[in-house]
Amino acid sequence: MSVLSWNCRGVGLPWNVRFLKDVVRQEKPAFVFLCETIGRHDRVEWVRRQLGYEGMIVVEPQGRSGGLCLLWKEMDQGKLLSYSQNHIDIEVRIEGMEVWRLTGIYGEPVRANRRKTWDLLRHLARDSNLPWVGIGDMNNICSHADKKGGNAYPNWLIDGFNETLMDVGLIDMSLTGHQFTWERGRGTSEWIEVRLDRTLTTDAWLTVFPAVRLYNLEGSESDHSPLLLIPKRYDRSQNCTHFRFENAWLSEPMCLEVVKDSWEENSKSDIQEKVKLCGEKLLVWGKEITGDFAKRIRECKVELKQWRGRRDTQAVQNYKETKKKLFLILDQREIF
């Protein structure tokens, strides 16, 4: 059970949908919070179906900016408590767990309006005594170490945010991975990196999930990195390998021959057995043709981490080329 949060800067964009599909496929988050969706309800509904989630709350954008969406895997696991242009708050009920509260937050982007975000947190804190976690693009930082490049961040904004967290009893979670979640001007003299996306929790929530980890995911086409909140240590050895038909195979003439041969070889088997054996044969053949997609994606992400923190011209160029390669692989991996 995990929570994915991402300022996607347009949920309906093809590359964002591909990226979301891949993250959902790999990490299997139970909840997905998206901000700056810039998409109407019908478009977000289409994305929900593509990702395979049942529950959904949508806050439509105002004009060409904003918009929020919170998805959850099973309908009866989430109950809406409140929402606004800057938050979606739900009660989470999962069998065998204590009831808790999840809030997706999109902080006011205009500095002059930041107090509205602080007031929102104070208001939400008074609404319920349930164990509480908030996640999203807060548009606030906790210290000068949360920003690299550009002008110094105003002290009154840092102090105001920290005072709010103290007043309402929220703890800023440490981040595993790259310590900045937003960037602008990569490769230029005006390159800025800031940790705008974060997770805030109460002591009560940490008592329920003492082994929680927060990860910064790589490879996003947005200027924001997604966050993955995992309330317990993630055991990847529990993942099962399932057959999936890869879009890239359709461009290979041999694909049809592999299917025909398998079907004929197992003509006396029942339909379920035929499909199983055909899938196994396609999986072996497909790896020889297109390679192991998961391995290629992992290699790209390792390269991205290698180049990300460097500011020399060659590193910036390598980062951009690796990012293009990653999204070409995701495009090939599109599944029917």
Is the same domain home to 208 and 146? yes
Is the same domain home to 64 and 167? yes
For residue 109, the SS3 value is coil
Is the same domain home to 7 and 87? yes
Please tell me the pTM assigned to this model. Answer: 0.72
Domain span at residue 265 reads 247-290
- pLDDT at 138 (0 to 100): 96
Residue 278 corresponds to which tokens in the numbers above?
């055909």
Is the same domain home to 176 and 271? no
Is the same domain home to 225 and 260? no
> How, if at all, do strands 78-84 and 87-92 pair?
antiparallel
Is the same domain home to 41 and 121? yes
Q: Which of 219, 238, 257 is the last residue of a domain?
A: 238
Is-contact 197 137, C-beta < 8 A?
yes
**241 CB-near residues (< 8 Å, 6+ apart):** none
Is the same domain home to 269 and 299? no
What total number of domains does the chain contain? 3
User: Any idea which residue has 């196994």 for tokens?
Assistant: 280
In the beta sheet, which residues pair with residue 194? 147, 182
Query: Over its length of 336 residues, how does the chain's per-residue pLDDT go in tens digits?
Result: 899 999 998 888 888 888 898 889 888 999 999 999 998 899 999 999 999 999 999 999 988 889 999 999 999 999 999 999 999 999 999 888 899 999 999 999 999 999 999 999 999 999 889 999 999 999 999 999 999 999 999 999 999 999 999 999 999 998 888 889 999 888 788 889 999 999 999 999 988 998 889 999 876 678 899 999 998 633 444 444 456 666 666 666 677 777 888 878 887 777 777 787 887 877 776 665 555 556 666 677 777 766 666 666 776 677 767 766 665 655 555 443
Element (H, E) at 213: strand 213-216
CA-wise closest residue to 182 among 220, 210, 145: 220
DSSP string computed for 216-248: E----SSSB--EEEESS---GGGPPP----BGG
Is the same domain home to 176 and 299? no
- The residue count of the chain comes to 336
Cβ-in-10-Å burial (0-12, 13-18, 19+) of 155 comes to exposed
Is the same domain home to 77 and 138? yes
Is the same domain home to 11 and 64? yes
For residue 183, the SS3 value is strand
CA-wise closest residue to 286 among 266, 258, 327, 263: 258
Is the same domain home to 181 and 323? no
Element (H, E) at 106: strand 100-106
Is the same domain home to 145 and 211? yes
CA-wise closest residue to 192 among 226, 227, 153, 137: 153
